[in-house]
C-alpha cells in the first residue's frame, strides 16, 4: 500500500514536472536564436495568445499542418504572448485541453517595443501574425493578420523546399 502511494506520488510529481517543462520561456536572445536559424528549411513562426480569439481560431490549422509538414522538412514554432502571470493559469491548461503537440514557446519579455521590429519592421504588434522564412535561401514573408487553413497550406507549399 505504502509502495503504491509512493508510486502514485512519484508519478504525480513527474506529470507535474512534465507539464512545467512543456513550455519553454524565451526572451529576446531566444527569439533572436529562432529568427536566425539557418538550417535550409522553411520555418513557420506564429505569434499568438490564448486571449486572442482569431489566434485561437487559426491554432488548429497550425497544429494540423505541423503534423502534416514536419516530416517534410518544415519547422513550426508557435510563440505565445500570453502574460507571464497567466502561463500557469491560462496558457498551460489551454494547451492541455486542446491537446496541442506543436512546439509552443512563451515570450516573457514584455518590453515589446524593444523586439517587435526584430521580427518584422511591418509588424504593428497586432496578433495573430506569422513569419515564414528560410534564411539559407534568403526567403522571408511576413503575414500581418490571421490565416485560413487554405491560406496557411498554400503559403507553406509556396515557400517550402520543393
> Within its chain, how far is the Cα of 133 from the centroid?
15
Stretch 15-44: interaction string toward another protein, x if CB under 8 A: ------------------------------
> Which lies closer to another protein via its Cβ, residue 123 or residue 142?
123
How close are the terminal C-alpha atoms of the chain, in Å?
59
Q: How many CB atoms lie within 10 A of CB 41?
A: 17
> Which lies closer to another protein via its Cβ, residue 30 or residue 160?
30
Phi first, then psi: what are they for 41, rounded to 5°?
A: -160, 160
Site stretch for another protein (CB under 8 A), options 12-20, 28-36, 126-134, 154-162: 126-134
Cell numbers standing for residue 29: 536572445
Cell numbers standing for residue 89: 493559469
Query: Applying CB under 8 A, which of residues 15, 60, 125, 161 lies at the interface with another protein?
Result: 125
Query: Applying CB under 8 A, which of residues 30, 41, 54, 105 lies at the interface with another protein?
Result: 54
Cis peptide preceding 128, ω within 30 of 0 = yes
Q: Is 83 in the site for another protein (CB under 8 A)?
A: yes
Query: Applying CB under 8 A, which of residues 20, 33, 89, 112 lies at the interface with another protein?
Result: 112
Kindly give, in sequence order, each residue whose CB lies less than 8 Å from that of residue 19, ignoring residues fewer than 6 positions away: 92, 96
Q: Which residues bind another protein (CB under 8 A)?
A: 47, 49, 51-54, 81, 83-85, 110-114, 116-117, 123-128, 145
Amino acid at each position: 500500500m505504502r509502495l503504491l502511494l509512493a508510486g502514485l506520488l512519484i508519478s504525480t510529481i513527474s506529470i507535474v514536472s512534465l507539464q512545467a517543462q512543456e513550455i519553454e520561456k524565451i526572451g529576446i536572445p531566444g527569439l533572436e536564436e529562432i529568427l536566425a536559424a539557418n538550417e535550409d528549411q522553411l520555418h513557420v513562426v506564429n505569434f499568438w495568445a490564448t486571449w486572442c480569439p482569431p489566434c485561437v481560431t487559426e491554432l488548429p490549422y497550425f497544429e494540423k499542418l505541423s503534423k502534416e509538414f514536419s516530416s517534410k522538412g518544415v519547422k513550426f514554432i508557435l510563440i505565445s504572448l500570453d502574460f507571464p502571470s497567466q502561463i500557469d493559469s491560462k496558457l498551460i491548461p489551454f494547451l492541455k485541453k486542446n491537446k496541442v503537440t506543436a512546439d509552443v514557446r512563451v515570450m516573457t519579455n514584455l518590453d515589446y517595443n524593444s523586439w517587435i521590429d526584430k521580427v518584422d519592421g511591418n509588424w504593428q504588434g497586432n496578433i495573430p501574425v506569422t513569419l515564414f522564412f528560410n534564411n539559407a535561401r534568403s526567403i522571408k514573408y511576413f503575414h500581418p493578420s490571421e490565416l485560413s487553413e487554405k491560406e496557411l497550406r498554400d503559403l507553406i507549399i509556396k515557400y517550402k523546399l520543393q
